[in-house]
Amino acid sequence: MLIRTSSARRFSRQAVQLLHPEKHQYAEETTFELPLSGNFEKDFRKNHINISFFQKTLLTVGSAAITILDPFRADMLSCLGETTGKDAAAYVFHKMIESEEGSRILSEQPRINSNTVDLESLKKYPEGTVGKVYSNWLKDNNVSPNSRLPVRFMDDVKLAYVMQRYREVHDLTHAILSMPTHMLGEVAIKWVEAIQTKLPMCIAGAIFGPVRLRPKQRKNYIEIYLPWAIQTGLESKFLMNIYYEKRWDQPLADLHQEMNIKPLVLSNGDK
């Protein structure tokens, strides 16, 4: 069933009023204080918004409709992830608690932003290390780690942290897999994340994202990106268990070997 643009716009206005109650017009961004590591519960209590079943349904339907029309609406993607991701977040939590490194992440609750990560220091790491690769990726793709919205609509603080961690390491997943932020790169990463995390938002992005691809992109997607992404999602170890902040100086090649990641090698014509 097709979603009419007028209906999506109506959902947009209603959903935005829930997302940004201080604003009554269409808005894409909101400001928030950058948090420090280890204080997630405090930040969670400050940002948490209690919503009724009706409001949750409205947010889910509205954010889903808007995301289909505009997959780059970060606020709506975040909202959709929170309202549909409880069971998947619980799955990720248990996968992390089973791992020594994942358990440490859950215990210490590190955050990734310019308050917690010395971005200037990352630039000084040797080429080929995780820190340098991440720094180069941020620069090449004009991305800031400060752009990730806080989790607001999940009631369980442990699951909310899992969602926040997923959100904040998304760019690192791009970086270690050498995927830029164009549509092909985003869809490929969504397949990896969908297979590993089971998040409905990622599954939807993986399935519906390719609709916007141009013919040549679609050919490369089907023949190159999709098989690689599925293989990576299935065969690599659980990426959410990587404590990146403790691995900045690790050669990326060693991380790939440890995590059983086979990088996608592309010719210029396939990018």
- Those residues whose C-beta lies under 8 Å from the C-beta of residue 123, and which sit 6 or more positions away, are 132, 135
User: Could you tell me which residues are beta bridge partners of residue 129?
Assistant: 251
CB 46 within 8 Å of CB 5? no
- Known binding residue 127? Answer is no
The SS3 of residue 251 is strand
CB 186 within 8 Å of CB 209? yes
C-alpha of 215 from chain center: 26
- Known binding residue 256? Answer is no
The token pair that represents 236 in the structure block: 């690599």
CB atoms within 10 A of CB 4: 10
CB 166 within 8 Å of CB 92? yes
Q: Is 188 left (phi over 0), alpha (psi -120 to 50) or beta?
A: alpha
- Known binding residue 186? Answer is yes
Residue of 86, 115, 233, 111 lying closest to 165 (CA atoms): 111
**Single-letter residue type at 234:** L
User: Could you tell me which residues are beta bridge partners of residue 251?
Assistant: 129
- Known binding residue 170? Answer is yes
Half-sphere exposure of 188 (CA within 13 A, CB side): 30
Q: List the binding residues for Zn(2+).
A: 170-171, 174, 186
Binding residues: 170-171, 174, 186
